Amino acid sequence: MTEVSGRGAVVAAISARDIWKRYGAVAANRGAWLEVAPAEIHAVVGENGAGKTTLMRIVAGLLAPDSGTVTVEGRVVTGWKARDAIAAGVGMVHQHFMLVPTLTVAENVVLGMEPRWLARLLVDRSEAVRRVRELCERSGLAVDPAKRVAELTVGEAQRVEILKTLWRGARILILDEPTAVLSPPEVRELWNVVRALRDAGTTVVLITHKLDEVLDISDNVTVMRSGTTVQRLRTSRATPQALAQAMLGRELAPPVPPPRDLPPGRVLLSVRDLVVENRGYRAVAGVSFDLRGGEIFGIAGVEGNGQTELVEALAGLRVPSAGSVLLDGREITRATVHERTRLGLAHIPEDRQRRGLVLDFSVARNLVIGRLDRFQRRFVLAMAAIAANARRLVEEFDVRPADPSLPARALSGGNQQKVVVAREMGREYSVLLAAQPTRGVDVGAAQFIRARLRQARDSGKAVLMVSADLDEILELADRVGVFFRGRMVAVLSRSEATPQLLGSYMTRGGSRDS
């Protein structure tokens, strides 16, 4: 079932053969292989835990394989170190950014390879800014070199990560889920840059779950499943259905019909005139709405328009400067996170690593965060109960590997997300705040999470869902609110909400009352 793209005798940019990588009893790669031609955009797809990122970390020198062979541009490099890969022109941009927020863009880009003067004793900061600005112009990655990273949008931070690899001379660029946190306009800008890099001779490997992106941007695609490579083919001969079936080893379930019109339940979350400030400006500027049992209220909007601050204020992670929040009639505006949890509020945060998990804790321990009081006896943790809870949730939410003793950082990003979803949705709650619930998960896992959100709605729970994915909003939401510059500029019924109308409100605001 394997098909190559036929480029004659050209030496492969990357060739990996029979790669095995084990973590204890779990094999992340099981005889995996990969062939990437020079100056192409090559997509690597597969379910969460399929071994995609592990394989590419081996290529980038971040991991050593247990067995197998890796060659880069004809040179055998099996087991090399990250510094060797960087020196050879291989750069990897990770799904979770690795930037220093207090430094400027230029300082982050040149960190460790700074231009110097005065017998190389001092860093030449003005030269660094000048050369980084030239790199921005040459690559098409527009960002202000003098701006601090903490002040950047998510899309700008993504560009800085790519600039870092280009500064170090990358001829082979590996992008791990590069669009997971980008808005549609930012994705289009990134693809323009990636195509320009390809046309200039750079090889780009794209790890992604988004099949529409694969079909839009790549020249060839490799499909992985359960640690093995199952297919390689020309993208022009691929279809979304065939790729999904190869990834999952089964046909994807048929589309779910739109939400049905149901009589509204009682108000479970009431927000009035909420104001939330962030570094001196009003991120949320007087927002009011009610959330009822038995509905999914979707919040759409380009990221950075206040959705993050809204959810964090509702979850108790930020203190609003004005307004009120009631949970099932109880005042919780200034309640602690623990108090809100006890009253029935669950929260899937948008950043699973920063807000959702303690990466060095085991999966089992992460699954009881916020509920330890229910798993202890006289101040002693009930380890048997914690283990039983973990086994139940790992099986119910299909977390892979199915080993609750593993640290959370050993899991793929998508399986880390499943752990967060399992913890929040696997307990008693009445209101769920779901921020980007399917970000960075594969098509099968996204379908599973969306089904759980529908089950919550159908059982009478109230779900507030924030998503940058308009298709997800339109698939799940009973009502859609649109955020623009800190305000909810429209609230639309499911029948009113169209991609065109939502896009108009998201990019230009509007005057429709909420």
Q: What is the pLDDT along the chain (514 residues), one digit of tens a residue?
A: 334 444 456 899 999 999 999 988 788 999 999 999 999 999 999 887 889 999 999 999 999 999 999 999 999 999 999 999 999 999 999 877 889 999 999 999 999 888 877 655 677 888 899 999 999 998 888 899 999 998 887 778 889 999 999 999 999 999 998 887 676 777 888 899 999 999 999 999 999 878 888 999 999 999 999 899 999 999 999 998 888 888 888 766 665 655 555 566 899 999 999 999 987 889 999 999 999 999 999 999 877 789 999 999 999 999 999 999 999 999 999 999 999 999 999 999 998 888 899 999 999 999 999 888 888 877 788 899 999 999 999 999 999 889 999 999 988 888 999 999 999 999 999 999 999 999 878 788 888 899 999 999 999 999 999 998 888 999 999 999 999 989 999 999 988 998 888 878 887 665 444 4
CA distance 82 to 62: 5
- Distances in Å between the alpha carbon of 167 and those of 136, 148, 161, 173, 318? 10, 18, 10, 12, 37
- Distances in Å between the alpha carbon of 212 and those of 43, 185, 215, 440, 473? 11, 15, 5, 14, 17
For residue 410, the tally of other CB atoms under 10 A from its CB is 18
The residues with which 116 forms a beta bridge, in sequence order, are: 123
- 181 half-sphere exposure, CB direction, 13 A CA radius: 18
The residues with which 432 forms a beta bridge, in sequence order, are: 346, 463
Per-residue confidence (pLDDT) for residue 7, from 0 to 100:
47
CA distance 107 to 130: 12
Measured in degrees and rounded to the nearest 5, phi and psi for residue 174 equal: -105, 120
**CA-based nearest residue to 329, from 455, 453, 430:** 430
- Distances in Å between the alpha carbon of 340 and those of 336, 432, 506? 6, 11, 30
Per-residue confidence (pLDDT) for residue 205, from 0 to 100:
98
- 8-state DSSP, 402: -
For residue 427, the tally of other CB atoms under 10 A from its CB is 17
Residue with tokens 């700074």: 114
The residues with which 339 forms a beta bridge, in sequence order, are: none
Measured in degrees and rounded to the nearest 5, phi and psi for residue 23 equal: -120, 95
